[in-house]
C-alpha cells in the first residue's frame, strides 16, 4: 500500500524528507499510562518533543501552557507524575503532548476505550473544540461507531484489513452499505436501557485477513 500526505507518497520520500513529514504527524495512544514514562514528570514529557524539534525554552513553555489549557488541565500538572493523574487526565496529557509541536495531523488510536462514558463524552467535546481552534486534522481509530460519528466528518470502515466503505459521516449513519458497517452501528448502546438495539450479526465464517 501507499501512504499519502498532501499528495506526497511518504513511502517514496528520502530519509531527510521523511523526517520533515513525520514532524507534521503525531500519535495519541490507546493506553495513556503506558505511553508516559512513569519516572518522568508531566512537564518533562511535554517538553521532550519540543527539544527534539529544537524549540527554545521560552517558546516551549508558552506552547505547553497553551496545550494544557486546550485539553482542560491546569499548568501545575507539569510537576505531577503520571501515577498522580486519573486515566482521563493521563489521556489529556497524551493529547497535549501530541499537539505541542503543532502537527497538521493527529492519529488517535482508540483514545477513549479506557474511559467511562462521562469521561469519554467530555474528551470528545474537548477534541472537537481543539480541532475548531487549531484546525488540526484527526484520524480517529475506534470500534465505537458512536464516538467516531461524534468526532468525524468522514468515516472509513475497515474489515479484515481492507477498506470496505468510505463516506461522509451522515451517510454512514443513515444507510450502511457493508454488513460490517451495519454490525458496528447495531452494537451502539442507547442511553435508555428499555430501548433494545436491533442487533445485526454477520453470518458465515470469517476468512483470513
Helix (H) or strand (E) holding 196: none
Percent of the chain having pLDDT more than 90? 65
Mean pLDDT estimate for the chain: 89
CB 77 within 8 A of CB 93: yes
132 and 189 co-located in one domain? no
Domain presence at residue 183: yes
CB 68 within 8 A of CB 75: yes
Report which DSSP code applies to 54.
T
Domain presence at residue 162: no
Beta strand ranges found along 75-187 (DSSP E)? 105-109, 137-141, 154-159, 162-168
148 and 185 co-located in one domain? no
Domain interval for residue 121 = 4-152
CB 102 within 8 A of CB 134: yes
89 and 135 co-located in one domain? yes
122 vs 91: CA distance, rounded Å: 12
3-class DSSP assignment, residue 31: coil
Domain presence at residue 197: yes
Q: What is the dihedral of CA 198, 181, 206, 187, to 10 degrees?
A: -40
184 and 93 co-located in one domain? no
Tens of pLDDT, residues 19-40: 888 889 999 999 999 999 999 9
Domain presence at residue 159: no
102 and 197 co-located in one domain? no
198 and 117 co-located in one domain? no
123 and 43 co-located in one domain? yes
147 and 182 co-located in one domain? no
14 and 47 co-located in one domain? yes
Residues of 186-205 as b/e, b for ≥16 C-beta within 10 angstroms?
eeeeeeeeeeeeeebeeeee
Domain presence at residue 57: yes
Domain count, the chain: 2
pLDDT tier at 90, thresholds 50, 70, 90: very high
Predicted confidence at residue 168, as pLDDT, reads 96
23 and 80 co-located in one domain? yes
CB 153 within 8 A of CB 168: yes
Is the pLDDT at 208 greater than 70? The verdict is no
166 vs 159: CA distance, rounded Å: 12
CB 156 within 8 A of CB 166: yes
Domain presence at residue 160: no
CATH number at residue 19: 3.40.50.300
Domain presence at residue 83: yes
C-alpha cell at 173: 449513519
Sign of CA dihedral 115, 120, 126, 132: positive
43 and 140 co-located in one domain? yes
Domain presence at residue 164: no
97 and 179 co-located in one domain? no
Percent of the chain having pLDDT more than 70? 89
Beta strand ranges found along the chain (DSSP E)? 4-5, 8-9, 25-28, 105-109, 137-141, 154-159, 162-168
Tens of pLDDT, residues 149-189: 999 999 999 998 899 999 999 999 888 888 888 888 887 65
Predicted confidence at residue 109, as pLDDT, reads 96
Amino acid at each position: 500500500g501507499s501512504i499519502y500526505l498532501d499528495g506526497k507518497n511518504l513511502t517514496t520520500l528520502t530519509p531527510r524528507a521523511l523526517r520533515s513529514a513525520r514532524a507534521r504527524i503525531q500519535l495519541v495512544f490507546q493506553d495513556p499510562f503506558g505511553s508516559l514514562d512513569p519516572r518522568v514528570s508531566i512537564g518533562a514529557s511535554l517538553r521532550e518533543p519540543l527539544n527534539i524539534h529544537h524549540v527554545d525554552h521560552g517558546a516551549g513553555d508558552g506552547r505547553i501552557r497553551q496545550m494544557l489549557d486546550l485539553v482542560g488541565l491546569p499548568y501545575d500538572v507539569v510537576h505531577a507524575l503520571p501515577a498522580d493523574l486519573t486515566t482521563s487526565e493521563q489521556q489529556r496529557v497524551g493529547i497535549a503532548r501530541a499537539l505541542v509541536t503543532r502537527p497538521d495531523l493527529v492519529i488517535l488510536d482508540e483514545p477513549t476505550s479506557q474511559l467511562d462514558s462521562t469521561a469519554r463524552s467530555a474528551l470528545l467535546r474537548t477534541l472537537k473544540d481543539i480541532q475548531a481552534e487549531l484546525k488540526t486534522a484527526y484520524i480517529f481509530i475506534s470500534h465505537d461507531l458512536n464516538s467516531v460519528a461524534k468526532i468525524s466528518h468522514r468515516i472509513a470502515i475497515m474489515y479484515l484489513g481492507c477498506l470496505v466503505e468510505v463516506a461522509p459521516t451522515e451517510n454512514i449513519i443513515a444507510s450502511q452499505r457493508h454488513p460490517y458497517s451495519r454490525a458496528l452501528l447495531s452494537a451502539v448502546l442507547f442511553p435508555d436501557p428499555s430501548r433494545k438495539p436491533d442487533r445485526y450479526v454477520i453470518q458465515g465464517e470469517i476468512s483470513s485477513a
